[in-house]
Amino acid sequence: MSNSSTKGRIRNGGSNKKSLLPYLLVSPYVLFLLVFVLFPVFFCFYLTFHTWNIISPMKFNGVNNYVRLFMDRMFWLAILNTLKFLVVQIPLQLIISLTLAQLLNQQLRGRSFFRATFFMPVIVSGVVISILWQQLFAYESGIFNRILSAVGVAKVGWLVSPEIAMYSIALMATWKNVGLYVILFLVGLQSVPTQYYEAAKLDGASNWRQFWHITLPMINPTIFMVVILSTIGGFSLFIEPYIITGGGPMNHTLSAVLYIYKQAFQYYNMGYSSTLGFFYAILIMVVVIIQKRLIEKED
């Protein structure tokens, strides 16, 4: 270390072009990369072939963890739950954020007020949002069931019905994140050249046709970005079910990350949970790559 800093000083004198200074500057990153990125990836892979509870010595168990993973109904249920979450969240977020962005992109008063209002939940901790929405979803006293009762519709088991609970959480997550996507779409919409719309108006194209044939194709990159961001965010779903339902009712809000967390830090199955983590990370990357391909083909 001291050796490299002396050489660094020589470079500053301008005499030694092959100095170590650049390496000294990037060394924090390289160290970080080795300790917190590369080593973990290899160690995770190594752990997938072992059983280990951290305290007693590690035991090699071949591909048993992988066999267990494919037979583990709970894990596949967690994957299914996560996919249910994504299937609702992604389209809902796209439609709502694009609609709000389109409205905000008009001549109107109070635009920055609306923008700030929509954005508020984005920066507030998911812990706050979860505690809050748990009350809004409450069966007897929650606002949603109160509104339903007031208009004479039967109450919904937002968090207690196994078929519905995950969709309720997806609704909440949409509310939390949509403000970010409104901002991204606003940036996208403002980058569409106004001449295109003027030309379309001369041709007598309706607003709706302008939206389909000019706006949508032009903001394709933003749509892509929003889909990718909300996919990655959805695959990381953890704190919301952890606080609101604990994974229930009947494990129907158990997300994949929550299951991996439980395997690792409640049951201390380090080998098996690493197998889940490894498999899940590859799954995420595959899904994101497929999305990229599909959207690029659209162009």
Partner 1 sequence: MKNGIINKILMYVILGIAACSFLYPFIWMIGASLSPEQQIGNMNLFPSEPTMQNFRIMIGKIPIWRSLFNSTLVALFTTALVLFTGSTVGYALARLQFKGRQVIFYIIVFTMSLPFQITLIPNYITMVNLHLVDSYMALIIPFSVSAFAILMFRQAFLGLPQALIDAAHLDGCNELQVIFSVLWPNIIPTIITIGMLTFIGSWNEVLWPLIVIRDEQIMTMPQLVTLFAVGGRADAQLGVKLAAAVLLALPVMIAFLFFQKYFIQSMASSGLKD
Which positions from 194 through 233 interact with partner 1, judged by CB under 8 A? 225-226, 228-229, 232
Does 254 participate in binding partner 1 (rule CB under 8 A)? Answer: no
Contact residue for partner 1 among 164, 180, 223, 254 (CB under 8 A): 180
- For partner 1, give the closer residue by CB, 25 or 294: 25
Site for partner 1, residues 32 to 91, rule: CB under 8 A: 32-33, 35-37, 39-41, 43-44, 47, 54
192 contributes a contact to partner 1 by CB under 8 A: no
Tell the smallest beta-carbon distance from residue 66 to partner 1 (Å).
15
Could you tell me the smallest distance in angstroms from the CB atom of residue 118 to partner 1? 6
Which one, 69 or 226, has the nearer CB to partner 1?
Answer: 226
Give 167 or 181: the residue with its C-beta nearer to partner 1: 181
The answer to whether 23 contacts partner 1 (rule: CB under 8 A) is yes
Which residues share a beta bridge with 51?
Answer: 59
Instruction: Bin 14: left if φ > 0, else alpha if -120 < ψ < 50, else beta.
Output: left
Angular region, 59: left φ>0, alpha ψ -120 to 50, beta rest: beta
Residue type at 222? T
Taking residue 120's Cβ as centre, other Cβ atoms within 10 Å add up to 10
Query: Residue 49 Cβ, how far from partner 1 at the closest point, in Å?
Result: 14
Q: Interface with partner 1 includes 10 (CB under 8 A)? A: no
Nearest to 69 by CA among 251, 271, 289: 271
Question: Would you give the DSSP letter of residue 269?
Answer: -
Rounded CA separation 173/89 (Å): 7
Question: Angle of helix 73-104 relative to helix 270-298, nearest 10 degrees?
Answer: 40
The region of 74-82, 97-105, 154-162, 191-199 touching partner 1 under the rule CB under 8 A is 97-105
Shortest distance (Å) from residue 243 CB to partner 1: 6
Regarding 132 and contact with partner 1 (CB under 8 A), the answer is yes
CB-based contact 241:258 (threshold 8 Å): yes
117 binds partner 1 (CB under 8 A): yes
Q: What is the DSSP letter of 252?
A: T
Angle at 256 between CA 254 and CA 259, to 5 degrees: 65
Q: Which of 83, 87, 119, 218 is in the footprint of partner 1 by CB under 8 A?
A: 119
Chain centroid to CA 56: 35
| 103, 153, 290, 294: which one binds partner 1 (CB under 8 A) | 103
Please tell me whether the peptide bond between 249 and the residue prior to it is cis, using omega within 30 degrees of 0. yes
Contact between 268 and partner 1 per CB under 8 A:
no
